[in-house]
Amino acid sequence: MSLLLNNLVNDDFLWDVIAAHLPYTRRSATSFTNFKCPMCGDYKPRCGIKRSSRIGIHCFNCAFDTRYQVGDYLSKKMAEFLHRIGVSDMEVKRLALHARAIKRAIDDAPKLPTAIAALTFEPNFANRELPEGSLPLGEWADLGCTDPHYVNAVEYALSRGDVVMRAADWHWTPAQGMQDRLILPFRFDDRIVGYTARTTIGDGNKYLNYMPQDFLFNNRVLEGDRDTVVVIEGPLDALAIDGVSPLGSTMNANQVAWLKATGKRIVVVADRDEAGDKMVTLARNNKWAVAFPGLKSNAQDWWDSDIKDCDEAVKRHGRLYVLKSILETATSNATEIEVKRRYLV
């Protein structure tokens, strides 16, 4: 697929306009947002919109129903809905022309249907066993374990700060080759589907990762009722702020589709290093907001100058303060993002 066509297919042009005008009332765990129907004037929030691989709108009072999927024309029903939520006539005409342009590009590209299908992702991962002999740190304590390797693992976990220590599902094993590592299970639907093992001695070969392809760490937050999801590179940073981590500074198409299907606002936090710059590129490519809480170029100096990432910031300033710093410095303005990214490295 050409770069131009890829940009068209991944363009959230319609959702961006709807989200800006929608009178949000309640968001359910299934990303179905309820509000008072603009079509029938119902006094109860019985109209809903759900965004996954397509946008679907349905009112349980007047039975109004319309939807849009990449490759469709903008229907008369969708245009009327847009008018009713306050979108101008000129803007509706622009959206219709944009949808028509996408359809024309798709019709002229015979390989595109496969590419479009890849944008829809239903996460599901096989179970994976932890290293032999692994138990939670608390269970080892109950057993009266005094193994020096275990004591060292506990001390390292404590060094990551109280928030991360309590949020993480830390495990340890005395198995040969793994006794100097803390094990952090990766879960999906309360099942263990992988893990990372972080060394507790030195900095060489810090992590041994056994993760399924397309995985997002701490993915349980995607099913909650929060409107905003914070995305950060590392798993410990994600635990510190209860965010989501792709376990790296890049994402594949399925991980991106998983996030977009939630219908939530995505805010990417940029650490002050080269990986942070890559995260900014990831955000720009997907039209996500970027937060720069660690930069001195902000109106307020939120973090101390020696803090590089969220884990350190939470230990120093506390989780609530750090979350506020992220939300206050988050921006979707392309020019502002490009200016601030120059100060990351």
Q: Model confidence over 207-233: pLDDT tens digits?
A: 888 989 899 999 999 987 889 999 998
Q: Is residue 100 part of a domain?
A: yes
Q: Is residue 298 part of a domain?
A: yes
Highest mean pLDDT: which range of 29-38, 48-57, 317-326: 317-326
Looking at every residue in the chain, the average pLDDT score rounds to: 85
Could you tell me the residue range of the domain that residue 147 belongs to? Answer: 135-210
Same domain? For 202 and 262 the reply is no
Q: Is residue 125 part of a domain?
A: no
Same domain? For 300 and 337 the reply is yes
Q: How many domains does the chain have?
A: 3
| Res. 122: pLDDT tops 50 | yes
Q: Is residue 126 part of a domain?
A: no
Q: Average pLDDT for residues 233-252, to the nearest whole number?
A: 91
Same domain? For 282 and 176 the reply is no
Mark which of 147, 175, 210 sits at the end of a domain: 210
Mark which of 210, 232, 251 sits at the end of a domain: 210
Band (298; pLDDT cuts 50, 70, 90): low
Same domain? For 7 and 113 the reply is yes
Cβ–Cβ under 8 Å, residues 11 and 52: no
pLDDT value, residue 263 = 87
**What is the C-alpha end-to-end distance of the chain, expressed in Å?**
33
> 147-193 pLDDT, tens per residue?
999 999 999 999 988 888 888 899 999 999 899 999 999 999 989 99
**Which CATH number covers residue 302?**
3.40.1360.10
> 2-19 pLDDT, tens per residue?
444 455 555 678 888 888
Count the alpha carbons within 13 Å of 244 in the hemisphere toward its beta carbon: 28
Phi and psi at residue 150, to the nearest 5°: -65, -45
Q: Average pLDDT for residues 236-262, to the nearest whole number?
A: 90
Q: Average pLDDT for residues 56-65, to the nearest whole number?
A: 90
Cβ–Cβ under 8 Å, residues 267 and 259: no
Same domain? For 160 and 104 the reply is no
* Distance (Å, whole) CA 262 – CA 51: 7
Q: Is residue 124 part of a domain?
A: no
Cβ–Cβ under 8 Å, residues 293 and 329: yes
Q: Is residue 181 part of a domain?
A: yes
* Distance (Å, whole) CA 53 – CA 259: 11
Same domain? For 223 and 334 the reply is yes
pLDDT value, residue 118 = 45
- Residue 125 burial (CB count, 10 A): 19
Mark which of 175, 210, 245 sits at the end of a domain: 210
